């Protein structure tokens, strides 16, 4: 496996830190965590580490003195590798690295010959991961409230696959006949209530009422049947319109029909973790860190949603996953303590990862649209994908951290201009295709890459080798906006190169070198767009010089 650039530099730094500690007779100290980052300002080099600041604190020395020692060791240690042009200590105690042009040229040649190493980062070591997302209630079409989690879950699964994990996508269907929502849906369908009434439901009912005995069903049976039809429609929309594939559609009702939920309760009772109070059965979650105990079975004898959650997650881990990720709405944040308690009870503590999507505001003509599922004013997700296109929808929903609120600007997402980041990124794809249509036959000659020394060329070279690090860091913290930012940065570097360096010229060596850079950019840009689930157009009707 090819080391990422960050890992490559971190290895050098780790040895330099150990040498610095040993030289001071402080080999007893543990080396601090090595973090390598890319400075925003290119004047500070291509990469940087702040490890000297933390090391200086442990040693009781000035940070610049420690940074100077590290820089000196690193210069000596890497002098024969050809990796760096410059290693220097700068205030207040950073060590900055500038990559050698020859190293960048070598990496471009490898990218063209061995693209896999620059588009993947197999750090997952085959770990089995289950990503559960969307899992919308089968009471109506998907709404804008489902969009953020849908695109986050899908792209996260793509990134996990690209980093060597064995990933499966799962949709949990909340269709238990005992659930309040299914019964309310049934009452609405039978004309006994209005909770889920809508034009969409009435159109569906006109078909269902033609079936024999539909009106003789009880609310649970009618709700289950209607919910099943809604789920089929939603599944088709997810697959065809959102371009999201699920490996498993898991039915909550199956937990009860298979008696899995019953077996979980029996196990918990047998372990003395269940007690009765007020006619209900409670689970002793406070013994495992929860703020208060939770009801498993109501006094009416009906199971709670919490029991379904326990049985469902027990089933997930019984299936052998090493890492289970649940993508949830912000309204589920109160579930953390009790689900952590369940993890401890069932023996999978630390393997369940709950991630919450904060709210989204849709802005049109400067005004936020008022949306409420409870009030019946929720906007269908289908409206947005048709209004701005799926590519723009996917990109914009991934531009902010999941822990922050997101404003989705419809006008910006529709704009056919460079102000729209999706247009700007896809225009880079179209420009690359335009160059390829006019380029002569290409055969890589590594020697001609020495001609790539212009600032815009070098900046693009540095950007091209960063994708594996972006993937590794994104897996570590789950912040997917790092990938949308990288896509824009890559397109920006390419456009600047395109506007300052004519690719096809009378100089054969120059043309070959620049076309190699274009070919490398195509490989990385297409891979990034593939991970994001966004198309890479070959024409956009605005191609200019080549």
Instruction: List the chain pLDDT tens, one digit each, 546 residues.
Output: 568 999 999 999 999 999 999 999 998 888 889 999 999 888 899 999 999 999 999 999 999 999 999 999 999 999 999 999 999 999 999 999 999 999 999 999 999 999 999 999 999 999 999 999 999 999 999 999 999 999 999 999 999 999 999 999 999 999 999 999 999 999 999 999 999 999 999 999 998 888 768 889 999 999 999 999 999 999 999 999 999 999 999 999 999 999 999 999 999 999 999 999 999 999 999 999 999 999 999 999 999 999 999 999 999 999 999 999 999 999 888 889 999 999 999 999 889 999 999 999 999 888 887 765 554 557 899 999 999 999 999 999 999 999 999 999 999 999 999 999 999 999 999 999 999 998 877 777 888 999 999 999 999 999 999 999 999 999 999 999 999 999 999 999 999 999 999 999 889 899 999 999 999 999 999 999 999 999 999 998 655 444
Q: What angle do CA 26, 32, 37 make, to 5 degrees?
A: 135
Right CATH for 5-99 from 3.40.50.300, 3.30.1360.70, 3.50.50.60, 3.40.50.150: 3.30.1360.70
DSSP annotation of 240: H
My answer on whether omega of the bond before 20 falls inside 30° of 0, hence cis, is no
Question: Contact 98/507 with Cβ under 8 angstroms?
Answer: no
Longest dimension (CA), the chain: 88
Separation between Cα atoms, residue 52 and residue 38, nearest integer Å: 16
Question: Is the sign of the CA dihedral 19, 21, 24, 25 positive or negative?
Answer: negative
pTM: 0.94
Q: Give residue for tokens 């990124």.
A: 425
Say how many C-beta atoms besides its own lie within 10 A of residue 166's C-beta: 15
Give me the residues paired with residue 131 across strands: 169, 325
Domain residues of the chain, as ranges?
Answer: 5-99, 100-125+415-546
Q: What angle do CA 3, 400, 375 make, to 5 degrees?
A: 140
Inter-CA distances, 421 with 169, 296, 376, 530, 544, Å = 28, 48, 33, 16, 19
Determine the 3-state secondary structure of 141 from DSSP.
Answer: coil
Separation between Cα atoms, residue 419 and residue 188, nearest integer Å: 46
Right CATH for 100-125+415-546 from 3.30.70.20, 3.60.20.10, 1.10.730.10, 1.10.10.10: 1.10.730.10
- Would you list the DSSP string of 243-254? ----SEEEEHHH
Among 505, 514, 506, residue whose Cα is nearest residue 432: 514
Among 325, 321, 292, residue whose Cα is nearest residue 306: 292
């Amino acid at each position: 496996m090819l080391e990422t650039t960050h890992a490559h530099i971190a290895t050098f730094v780790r040895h330099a830190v150990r040498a610095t500690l040993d030289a001071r007779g402080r080999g007893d100290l543990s080396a601090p965590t090595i973090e390598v980052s890319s400075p925003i300002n290119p004047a500070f080099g291509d990469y940087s580490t702040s490890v000297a600041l933390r090391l200086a604190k442990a040693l009781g020395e000035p940070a610049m003195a420690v940074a100077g020692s590290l820089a000196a060791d690193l210069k000596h240690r890497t002098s024969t590798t050809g990796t760096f042009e410059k290693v220097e200590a700068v205030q207040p105690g950073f060590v900055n690295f500038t990559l050698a042009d020859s190293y960048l040229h070598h990496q471009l040649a490898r990218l063209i010959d061995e693209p896999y190493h620059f588009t993947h980062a197999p750090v997952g070591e085959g770990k089995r991961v289950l990503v559960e997302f969307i899992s919308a209630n089968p009471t109506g079409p998907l709404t804008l409230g489902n969009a953020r989690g849908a695109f986050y879950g899908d792209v996260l699964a793509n990134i996990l696959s690209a980093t060597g994990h064995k990933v499966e996508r799962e949709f949990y269907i909340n269709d238990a006949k005992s659930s309040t929502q299914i019964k309310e849906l049934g009452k609405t369908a039978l004309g006994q209530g209005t909770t889920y009434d809508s034009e969409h439901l009435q159109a569906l009912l006109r078909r269902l009422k033609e079936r024999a005995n539909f009106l003789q069903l009880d609310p649970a049976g009618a709700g289950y049947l209607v919910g099943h039809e809604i789920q089929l429609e939603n599944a088709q929309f997810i697959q065809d319109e959102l371009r999201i594939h699920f490996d498993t559609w898991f039915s909550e009702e199956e937990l009860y029909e298979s008696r899995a939920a019953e077996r979980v309760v029996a196990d918990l009772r047998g372990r003395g973790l269940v007690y009765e109070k007020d006619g209900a059965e409670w689970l002793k979650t406070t013994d495992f860190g929860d703020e208060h105990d939770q009801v498993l079975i109501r006094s009416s004898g009906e199971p709670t949603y919490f029991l379904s959650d326990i049985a469902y997650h027990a089933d997930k881990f019984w299936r052998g996953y090493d890492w289970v990720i649940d993508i949830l709405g912000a309204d589920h944040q109160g579930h953390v303590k009790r689900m952590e308690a369940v993890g401890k009870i069932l023996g999978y503590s630390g393997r369940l990862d709950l991630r919450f999507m904060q709210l989204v505001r849709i802005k049109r003509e400067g005004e936020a649209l008022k949306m409420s599922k409870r009030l019946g004013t929720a906007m269908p997700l289908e409206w947005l994908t048709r209004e701005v296109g799926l590519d723009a929808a996917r990109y914009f929903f991934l531009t902010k951290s999941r822990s922050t609120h997101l404003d989705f600007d419809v006008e910006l997402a529709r704009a056919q201009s460079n102000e729209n980041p999706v247009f700007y990124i896809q225009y880079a794809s179209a420009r690359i295709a335009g160059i390829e249509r006019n380029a002569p036959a290409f055969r890589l000659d590594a020697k001609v890459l020495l001609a790539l020394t212009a600032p815009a060329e070098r900046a693009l070279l540095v950007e091209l080798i960063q994708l594996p690090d972006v993937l590794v860091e994104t897996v570590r913290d789950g912040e997917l906006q790092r990938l949308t930012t990288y896509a824009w940065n890559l397109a920006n570097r390419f456009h600047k190169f395109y506007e300052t360096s004519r690719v096809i010229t009378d100089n054969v060596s120059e043309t070959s070198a620049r076309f190699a850079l274009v070919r490398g950019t195509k490989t990385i840009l297409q891979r990034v767009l593939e991970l994001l689930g966004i198309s890479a157009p070959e024409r956009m009707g605005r191609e200019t010089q080549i």
